[in-house]
Structure 1
């Protein structure tokens, strides 16, 4: 009975382990071996204990036989008295001795069995934990950041706990990545080309990155974000574009090679664009104020930019007007707006070209730029000054700043719409430089020939 009780106790323990670990991680043989070992140990202990009890019982029976002789009077009276007295004391000693030894042996065996059971239980649990394979690790991304596309090519770079993918077109994409710890993917929908930065969990080393184009099917269709629970159908014509392999970049970020400035071959412009024999503005001449950044200021020109060319053309055609150049290099639309009222005081007309520095790194986005331009147009109209606004010219197509041209195009659409809505005339300076790099002195500033083309457009808008 005792053996069965301990066995049932241990069987319950084994079921508890199996229930927690699930077949002991596919290694029931280890657990079964422990069961057999323990059962053998318990059985051996039980047999040892029962053998000891049997031996004690045999000695006890012999002594009982002698006691019976005392009671039956089978021995002579004197011998009987001595024998019986000695037997009585012996019996008392034997009973106390056997009882103490038996109890000690019994307790020792119980503790031994419990100790073996506990050790087996701990070994089984630790064995399951140590032998069990870890669950598949998924290196989840922590956040995805969208920035301006750097170039018109697909490429990727890897950094610590992150990587970047340049995607030069809009659409739905699946960016699959593998680290030294596992694999995962992120689905993105882009409304325009972008530079995607994916930051993943710490202690992951990116090994592989590939890109697929396709279609994302999701219940919450929104213009860009990431999709954690959506179906992606790849575009087989696009294929799978491997960007990073074995931790090394396959398609690298392009290195921009400076292109020599192309200058037109016509004769150099004179230091004073006003033709000989044409008088300058009179003391009572009307005032036209040119407001803007370094392009208005005339950087890259030998005569002072389009304000100088415009004044010369006005005078040459009999218009007594003076053109004041109020352009400041590096200025953003917010700074221009803050000084605009003082600039147009007493003017008859104001020419406004601003936004290049907003697009190419300023803190003012397209909405901010349009808001500032709208405010300046309203200020001019309320002051009785005739405003004319220009679109922003592009960067030279071969320069690294050409990456901003799409943003400039988008801004120019809003500038044109704003001018139309307010009944203000505008010139489209962007078109003057869109088809040729021959009119640039550097990446973003016109040369004299380019400034003269802008001046002609301003003149045509004035008259």
Structure 2
């Protein structure tokens, strides 16, 4: 009888050790964020910034550190402002499909604990690009989650633009991004609506697309709020 119990226990242990490691709890995620973590900003020029417009990475870094977090921004590209350098994978002029085609190699080299995904520009409405962008984002998410089951990905509904008709597809895109994130049913993948209360007339430079300083601060604040919420999660 004891032998049969022992055999059952060993079989149960074998099954448990084969369970996917993506079952990392929210409390473990929160603990990681409270103890220090790496961050990979993943997107286009809105992540990268330029000499003409602001990147959300700089105010986000300041907000996190002021709140007692210990972020380390990593990635193959670098932006500088006021003597401060921040690494990332923001690539001006590139679309979500381009970013998806490189996620395996980029994340393989920079396996960040936290990924901030904001990608949806650099298409034209005539391309009917929504489906392709969402598929690209799903590919990015699934590749990262497979490579690092402990990773957390915050996925943004992208900021809207006054550059029309080029970016008329963005409202439909954001609905589709939210639906895609919901369909994954993964507590390591979090949706943040960067388009909510976004006023391109107030928050962008003259091109009606890229964030000015106030816009970058607003984007950073949305990321920050999401990170704080995740850090407090308990099962």
Task: Work out whether the TM-score is over 0.5.
Answer: yes
The equivalent of 1:420 in structure 2 is 182
Does the Cα contact within 8 Å between 1:427 and 1:461 map onto a contact in 2? yes
Q: 1:456 aligns with which of 199, 221, 225?
A: 221
Q: How big is the alpha-carbon RMSD for the aligned residues of Structure 1 and Structure 2?
A: 2.1
Q: 1:325 aligns with which of 76, 82, 88?
A: 88
1:301 Cα deviation after fit:
5.9
1:352 Cα deviation after fit:
0.5
Q: Distance in 2 between matches of 1:340 and 1:355?
A: 16
Deviations 1:277-323 (CA, angstroms, capped at 9, x unpaired): xxxxxxx9521000111111124666x51011111111111111123
Q: Trace 1:232-243 onto structure 2 (pairs within 5 A).
A: none
The equivalent of 2:41 in structure 1 is 290
The equivalent of 2:157 in structure 1 is 391
When residues 327 and 426 of structure 1 are mapped into structure 2, their CA distance, relative to the original with a 3 A threshold, is: same
Q: Distance in 2 between matches of 1:339 and 1:355?
A: 16
When residues 410 and 293 of structure 1 are mapped into structure 2, their CA distance, relative to the original with a 3 A threshold, is: same
The higher radius of gyration belongs to: 1
Find the residue that maps to 2:122 and give its secondary structure: helix
Does the Cα contact within 8 Å between 1:359 and 1:408 map onto a contact in 2? no
The equivalent of 2:131 in structure 1 is 367
1:428 Cα deviation after fit:
1.1
TM-score (norm 2): 0.67
Deviations 1:220-241 (CA, angstroms, capped at 9, x unpaired): xxxxxxxxxxxxxxxxxxxxxx
Find the residue that maps to 1:389 and give its secondary structure: strand
1:437 equivalent in alignment to 2:201? yes
Find the residue that maps to 1:289 and give its secondary structure: strand
Does the Cα contact within 8 Å between 2:128 and 2:169 map onto a contact in 1? no
Q: Distance in 2 between matches of 1:325 and 1:349?
A: 12
Q: 1:356 aligns with which of 121, 144, 148?
A: 121
Find the residue that maps to 1:357 and give its secondary structure: coil
Deviations 1:6-40 (CA, angstroms, capped at 9, x unpaired): xxxxxxxxxxxxxxxxxxxxxxxxxxxxxxxxxxx
Find the residue that maps to 1:322 and give its secondary structure: strand
TM-score (norm 1): 0.35
1:380 Cα deviation after fit:
1.6
Q: Distance in 2 between matches of 1:451 and 1:301?
A: 12
Question: Runs of 5+ in structure 2 lacking a partner?
Answer: 1-34, 74-86, 229-235
When residues 448 and 431 of structure 1 are mapped into structure 2, their CA distance, relative to the original with a 3 A threshold, is: same
When residues 402 and 425 of structure 1 are mapped into structure 2, their CA distance, relative to the original with a 3 A threshold, is: same
1:440 Cα deviation after fit:
0.8
Question: Runs of 5+ in structure 1 lacking a partner?
Answer: 1-283
When residues 356 and 425 of structure 1 are mapped into structure 2, their CA distance, relative to the original with a 3 A threshold, is: same
Which one scores higher on RCO, CA 8 angstroms, separation ≥ 6? 2
Q: Trace 1:44-443 onto structure 2 (pairs within 5 A).
A: 285-299=36-50, 305-323=55-73, 324-344=87-107, 345-359=110-124, 365-382=129-146, 383-384=148-149, 385-396=151-162, 401-422=163-184, 423=186, 424-434=189-199, 437-441=201-205, 442-443=207-208
Q: Distance in 2 between matches of 1:407 and 1:286?
A: 35
1:433 Cα deviation after fit:
1.9
What count of residue pairs does the alignment treat as equivalent? 173
When residues 457 and 300 of structure 1 are mapped into structure 2, their CA distance, relative to the original with a 3 A threshold, is: farther
Higher strand residue share: 1
Deviations 1:378-430 (CA, angstroms, capped at 9, x unpaired): 1122122211111121112xxxx222444111111000111111132111111
